[in-house]
Amino acid sequence: MTEIELVCTEIAPALDLLRSAGFRLDLVYPADSPHTAVLAKDGSTLRLTSRPGTQLAEELAPFKPEFVVTRASEDSGAGRAGMLYRDLIPSRLGGRYIASHIRIPAGGPVSDWVHYHLVRFQMIYVRSGWVRVVYEDQGEPFVMEAGDLVLQPPGIRHRVLESSPGLEVVEVSCPALHPTFADHEMELPNGLGDPKRTYSGQRFLRHVASRTSWTWFSSGEAQETGIHEATGGIAEVRTIRAAGAPLVFPRHDGELVFGFVLSGTARLDSHGDHPLAPSDSFVIPPGEQWAVADASDDFRLLQVGTATLD
């Protein structure tokens, strides 16, 4: 098989040109701002890149903890399948994690294909709007609405089909730089298959907010998601709302402590006082206590935490 590397200035127009010429897209990375793709045609493989020399690491990057506050912004870049990505952790914590605020302003059909990711952890949470998706061995396509999430275990085939105008989701993944592979053989939906199948020790999870009750959490309430069990203890994810008193969070012994403000306002007490507004996000270094105070009645927070992943 012949292998060729083609270096370009901008990958998107070059990728469109090659696909129109009959090349098949097999691999692309990273999802939030693609710079490398692998395509095939007539027994030849073409590596298209705007960043020659960039390679995917075989090992997880060392975790580098950092306190981060990222403010709401409309500054987003074009990512995979025409989605707009806003980077919520610019340092990527040493390359260990990526968190993205993803938008599809126009809505309608999404130019996606059946694909999968090589990841250690990945979750998608709907902030607003709706999106229709389909997953391997999980039956017919289904709609995710605000507050819903899915855990995408490593290697599960899936596809984004369509969305409402103004769809917003939050995606958190490890590692930060991971490949997206196309699967040209599988057609979705593929029936129920084995809904309890595990992928690298994790199982697919669909959390539906409208079916989940609020339970006591700290001095407020939370909707738990079941991700702790589905990941075998790798991660935990919940939606939190305040009940008047400050929310005090204990020290975390793992790695990632990530928060995204879904709605309302509050004040983050960590490394000083930091006002929080919708679409703001933050990362707390492990081993540190932190709190959220002065929350408005409509304050909602997405909280994501992970164990030590080495």
Whether the upstream peptide bond of residue 154 has omega within 30° of 0, thus cis, is no
What's domain 74-207's superfamily in CATH? Jelly Rolls (2.60.120.10)
> What residues contact 24, with CB distance under 8 A and at least 6 apart?
39, 40, 41, 182, 184
Q: Are 235 and 254 in contact (CB under 8 A)?
A: no
210-306 falls under which CATH superfamily?
Answer: Jelly Rolls (2.60.120.10)
Contact between 300 and 242 under an 8 Å Cβ cutoff? The reply is no
Tokens describing residue 98: 């990526």
| 74-102 confidence digits (pLDDT tens) | 777 776 767 899 999 999 999 999 999 99
What does the domain layout of the chain look like in residue ranges? Answer: 2-49, 74-207, 210-306
Q: What are the structure tokens assigned to 280, written together?
A: 């703001």
Asked whether the domain spanning 210-306 has the same topology as the one spanning 74-207, the reply is yes
Computed over every residue of the chain, the mean pLDDT equals 94
DSSP state of 201: T
**What average pLDDT does the segment 196-212 reach?**
96
Residues β-bridged to residue 147? none
Separation of alpha carbons 64 and 62, rounded Å: 6
Share of residues in the chain with pLDDT > 90 (%): 84
Can you tell me the distance from the alpha carbon of 294 to that of 47, in angstroms, rounded to the nearest whole number?
52
Q: Which fold has domain 2-49?
A: 3.30.720
Average pLDDT over residues 288-295: 96
The one-letter code for the residue type at 83 is: M
Contact in structure between 240 and 300 (CB atoms under 8 Å)? yes
User: Coil, strand, or helix at residue 14?
Assistant: helix
Categorize the per-residue pLDDT at 161 as very low, low, confident or very high, splitting at 50, 70 and 90: very high
Residue range 19-32, pLDDT digits in tens: 999 999 999 999 88
pLDDT of residue 73: 85
Cα 297 to Cα 285: distance, rounded to the nearest angstrom = 27
pLDDT at residue number 33? 86
